């Protein structure tokens, strides 16, 4: 799969504030979307997912919004904490396209939380 | 559950040598595993898809003779970087998919292996 975006934009927020991280995905036929969190020197960790037939899903302190009209995905983190500092990637999945190449990562965003 | 491990976590080698990286699914069987490469400040790039008992499927631009993949069992896939060169220095991450667990859309990622080729 191809990754979109070869540089990482940075979002800097104050501890306690809400964070909004945005992602533009590439395939309008994608069935499923996932947000991953990647801390320095570690592999991606699953945060939350959303199916293409939904426009919003809430988790613990996180909310994902999906706008299929403009192929846009956002991750909202409420009451951001220092432990939220990481790089966040969105990923899109096309089910049944290819048994192997189902997941495509978007460009990431570095979130920095200031105490 | 759904833990994926990688070994080693980091490796430094001389140019021209080969390096093997292991990816294991610890508590589930993974018929499909994926290998990614990540350069600093960049996103993950899929290198190849590894299916148990069959040949790996490589992404365009990835040399199959240089990056050898073996998925000999349902819990282990290996990536061998042959004749490594400094430009192969990167963070290599594997992931595994748990079909039997009903979570076919979710990939579980390993912690990554940092390869530095001198």
Tens of pLDDT, residues A66-91: 999 999 999 999 999 999 999 999 99
Ranges in chain B, pLDDT < 50 = none
Q: Is the pLDDT of residue A112 over 80?
A: yes
Mean pLDDT, range A54-66, rounded to an integer: 96
B23 neighbors B37 (Cβ within 8 angstroms):
no
**Strand pairing of B19-25 and B4-7?**
antiparallel
Instruction: Report the pLDDT value the prediction gives residue B99, as an integer from 0 to 100.
Output: 65
CB interface of A with B, residues 18-37, below 8 Å: 31-32, 34, 36
Which chain A positions have a beta carbon within 8 Å of B90's beta carbon?
none
CA A110 to mean position of chain CA atoms: 11
Q: Is the pLDDT of residue A107 over 90?
A: no
CB interface of B with A, residues 54-83, below 8 Å: 57, 59
Mean pLDDT, range A45-65, rounded to an integer: 95
> What span, in angstroms and rounded, lies between the C-alpha atoms of A25 and A2?
11
DSSP 8-class letter at B101 = T
B110 neighbors B97 (Cβ within 8 angstroms):
no
């Amino acid at each position: 799969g191809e990754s979109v975006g070869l540089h990482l934009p940075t979002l800097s927020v104050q501890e306690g504030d809400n964070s909004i991280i945005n992602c533009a995905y590439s395939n309008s036929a994608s069935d499923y979307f996932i947000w991953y969190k990647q801390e320095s020197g570690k592999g991606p960790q699953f945060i939350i997912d959303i199916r293409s037939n939904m426009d919003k899903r809430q988790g613990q302190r996180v909310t994902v919004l999906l706008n299929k009209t403009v192929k846009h995905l956002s991750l909202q983190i409420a009451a951001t904490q220092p432990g939220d500092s990481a790089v966040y990637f969105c990923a899109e999945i096309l089910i049944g396209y290819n048994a192997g190449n189902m997941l495509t990562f978007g460009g990431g965003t570095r979130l920095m939380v200031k105490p | 559950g759904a833990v994926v491990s990688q070994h080693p976590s980091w490796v430094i080698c001389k140019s021209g040598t080969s390096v093997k990286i292991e990816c294991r699914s610890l508590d589930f069987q993974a018929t499909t595993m994926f290998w990614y490469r990540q350069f600093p400040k960049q996103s993950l790039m899929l290198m190849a898809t590894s299916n148990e008992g069959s040949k790996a499927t490589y992404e365009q631009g990835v040399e199959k003779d240089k990056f050898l993949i073996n998925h000999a069992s349902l819990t282990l896939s290996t990536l061998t970087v042959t004749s490594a060169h400094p430009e192969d220095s990167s963070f290599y991450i594997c992931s595994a998919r748990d079909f039997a667990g009903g979570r076919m859309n979710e990939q579980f990622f390993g912690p990554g292996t940092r390869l530095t080729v001198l």
